[in-house]
Amino acid sequence: MARKGLHVKVGELRSDIGVLKDLEITLGRIIEEPKPGEIGPTPFPSITDLRSWDLKLLKRYKPFYMPFCDVCCLCTFGKCDLTGDKRGACGLDMAGQQSRIVLLACCIGAATHIAHARHLVEHLIEKFGKEHPIDVGGVSVEVEAPVTRLVCGVRPRTLGDLEDVLDYLESQVTHLLSATHTGQEGSNIDFESKVFHAGMIDQVGMEVADIAQISAYNFPKADPDAPLVDIGLGVVDATKPVIMVIGHNVPPAVEIVDYLQENGLYGMVEVTGLCCTAIDVTRYNPKAKIVGPISWQLRYIRSGMPDVIVVDEQCIRADSLIEAQKIKAPLIAASPKNCLGLPDRTHDPAEEIVSDLVNGKTPGALILDPEKVGEVAVKTAILVAPRRKKFKAIPNVKGVIEGSKRCTGCQSCRRACPNDLPIPEAVAEAAKGNLDKLGALYAECIGCARCESACPQGLPLHSFIVKAAEKKLKEETYKIRAGRGAIQDIEIRNVGGPIVLGEIPGVIAFVGCANYPKGGEEIAEMAMEFANRRFIVLTSGCAAMSAALYKDEEGKSPYEIYPGAFDAGCIVNVGSCVSNPHIAGAAIKIASIFAKRNLYANYEE
C-alpha cells in the first residue's frame, strides 16, 4: 500500500566535503524500523489478500440462505424474480443476491464505525494535536491496538498515526461497496469472502475510535476497578433541568460536561444519556447518568423528563425531532450524518440560538461545533425547564382506559410486534380498568412502536405500556461499571495457562443491541450463570447496560456482585460499541503473549 511521506535511506554517500554513512531522512512522518521477521505476510491487506483463507473457511462452513425477499430491486432492470433457479437480468441468482445484501449491510456497519472514528480522530487532533500519545493503559498495556497491529502491521503511537490507518480503511470500504454494483461480483462465495473483509476492517475502525478517545479524554485505562455509575430511569433527578444525549460519538456530551464544570454548574443540571454516548460520557465523568439502551428512547422522551435532547450519530430514532416536539423539548443535532432537516446554526452566536430554542421560534438546531453544543445545551436547559414543567406525552390512567375502549381487537398490533406480545388481550383488560397486563408487557417491549404505526385507531400503545408500568420505571435504579477499555497484559499472562489447561472453561462476550425476545433480564441471568461457572464474562454497548438492569435479593446489580477483572468468575464491561475490539484483542493477546504468535500483519494465522 502506498504510504504518506518520503523516506530516504543511504548506506554511504561520498562527496568532496566528506563521507556520510547510514544516513536516513524522513519527510512527513516518522518511520519506525520493524524488527527482522516482525512484519507478517499481509500488511494493510486488500480485499483479495486473505481470499484463499476465506475460501477454506467457506468450503468447510458452507453458507445457508433463507431469503426474506424473493426479488431484487437494486438496479433499473428490476424487479427481478429470483425464486427457484431463476436468475435476474444481470445474471445473478438468489444465493448471489442474498450474499450481496449481506455485504451491503456489513459495509454500512463498517462505514459507520470508520466514519465515527474519522470524525472523532479529526476532532481530537484539532483539540489535542497530532502528537498526542496513544495510551490505553500505561505500563499495564504494552500490546495496545492489537487488532490494528494484526491487520495493518503497524503500531500507532500518536493520534496522527491513526490517520494513515483510517485512510486504508476508507479505501477498503469503497472497494467493497463497488463490488455490490450491478455487473460486478457474481459469486456468492466471493461475496461472503468480502463480507469477512468488511467485518475485519470494521473491528479496526472501532479500535481506532476507542483508543483515540481513551487516550485523549483520559477514560479508564484498563482499570478492573473502574467506577460504578448510575443507570436506570429512576436515577434521574427530574427536579433539575435535564439534558439527554443520544448516539455514539461522545464529543458533544463531553463538552456539555466541561461547560457545566467550567461555569460552576455541575450538580445543578442532570446529564443523562442513552446508548453508547451514555456509556462513554460516564467513562469521562462518572457523575453522568445512563438511562438505558437503545430501546428506551421513546419511553424516556415521552416521559417528559428531558428538557433538551442532543443527538449525535448512530442508533437514533429517525422521528426523534417529532417526539421531542410532543414534549416541547428543543433538540440539538450535533453530527453532519444526522441533520434532521434542521437549520445549520453552527456559526450563529450562542445566545441567539438559545433565545430561538427557548422561545419556541425553532424546534431545534444543527450545531456542528461540539463546544458550542455544550454551551447552547446547558443554557437552553436551564431556561426552558421552568417553562416546560416536565410536560409529558404519556397519557394518565384515565386516558389509557378510555383509549383502550376504542380498540376493535383487529390484532394488527400483535402482528406488527417483533416479539409477538399479547397486546390486544392486555388492551382489552385495560378497557375494563385493569392495567396489570399492559404493565407486564413492559420488560419484553423493545420500544420500536410498530404497534402504534399498525393500529388503525391511532392508539399510542407503547405509551399505554409505559404508563401501566410507571411504578416499575421509578424503581429502575441500578449500577453499571464504567467501561474499562483494554485488558492488561498481565491479566492475559495470568489466565493464559488456566484457559489452555481447562481450569477456566472459556471467555464469553455479550454484545449487541437491546432487542431481545424476552427482555434484557435474561442477559443479566446468563452473564451471572457463566460467571458462577468460572467463565470470563465480557460485555459492551447495549448488552452491558442490559446486564446491569437486574438486582439480587440484596439489591445489588451484577457489576456490584462480580469483580471487573479479566479473570475467572468476573464480569467485565469494556465500554461502548467501539470498545468491542478489546474483546477480540484479548484473544489476539493470548495468542501473541502466551502462544508467541507474530502479532504484526499476520491475520490469517
Q: CATH no. for residue 585?
A: 3.40.50.2030
Q: How many domains does the chain have?
A: 5
Q: How many residues can be counted in the chain? A: 605
Q: 372 with 401, same domain?
A: no
Strands (E), 315-427: 331-333, 364-366
Decide: 600 and 528 in contact? Cβ < 8 Å: no
Beta bridge partners of 366: 333, 344
What is the DSSP track for 499-537?
Answer: HHHTSS--EEEE-S-S--TT-THHHHHHHHHHHHTT-EE
Is residue 465 assigned to a domain? no
Is residue 24 assigned to a domain? yes
Interacting residues of 174 by C-beta distance below 8 A, sequence separation 6+: none
Buried b (16+ CB within 10 A) or exposed e, 484-508: bbbbbbebbeebbeebeeeebeebb
The angle, 0 to 180 degrees and rounded to 10, between the axes of the packed helices 423-431 and 461-468 is 70
Q: 265 with 382, same domain?
A: yes
Is residue 603 assigned to a domain? no
Q: 291 with 272, same domain?
A: yes
Rounded to 5 degrees, what angle do the CA atoms 476, 482, 486 make?
145
- CATH assignment of the domain containing 75: 1.10.8.190
Q: 213 with 316, same domain?
A: no
Q: How many CB atoms lie within 10 A of CB 271?
A: 24
Which of 414, 444, 459 is the endpoint of a domain?
A: 459
**Burial class (CB within 10 angstroms; exposed 0-12, middle 13-18, buried 19+) of 140:** middle
Q: 62 with 19, same domain?
A: no
Cα maximum dimension of the chain: 104
Decide: 211 and 136 in contact? Cβ < 8 Å: yes
Q: 175 with 306, same domain?
A: no
Q: How many CB atoms lie within 10 A of CB 99?
A: 24
pLDDT per position as a tens digit, 305-346: 999 999 999 999 999 999 999 999 999 999 999 999 999 999
Beta bridge partners of 600: 39
In the DSSP assignment, the letter for residue 453 is: H
Q: 237 with 95, same domain?
A: no
Q: 84 with 197, same domain?
A: yes
Q: 587 with 502, same domain?
A: yes
Closest CA to 289 of 233, 205, 371: 233
Quote the CA–CA distance of 458 and 324 in Å, as a whole number.
Answer: 19
H-helix or E-strand spanning residue 398: helix 397-404
Is residue 440 assigned to a domain? yes
Is residue 469 assigned to a domain? no
In the DSSP assignment, the letter for residue 158 is: B
Check residue 414 and give its pLDDT: 97
Q: 98 with 194, same domain?
A: yes
Is residue 197 assigned to a domain? yes
Q: 341 with 262, same domain?
A: yes
Which residue range forms the structural domain that includes residue 418? 397-459
Is residue 466 assigned to a domain? no
Q: Which residues of the chain have pLDDT under 70?
A: 1-10, 13, 15-18, 20-37
Quote the CA–CA distance of 8 and 15 in Å, as a whole number.
Answer: 18
Is residue 474 assigned to a domain? no
From its phi and psi, is residue 459 left (phi > 0), alpha (psi between -120 and 50) or beta? beta
Check residue 17 and give its pLDDT: 64
Tell me the residue type at 547.
A
Check residue 33 and give its pLDDT: 45
H-helix or E-strand spanning residue 242: strand 242-246
CA 61 to chain centre: 29
Which of 338, 364, 388 is the endpoint of a domain?
A: 388
Decide: 397 and 436 in contact? Cβ < 8 Å: no
Q: 319 with 298, same domain?
A: yes
Check residue 8 and give its pLDDT: 61
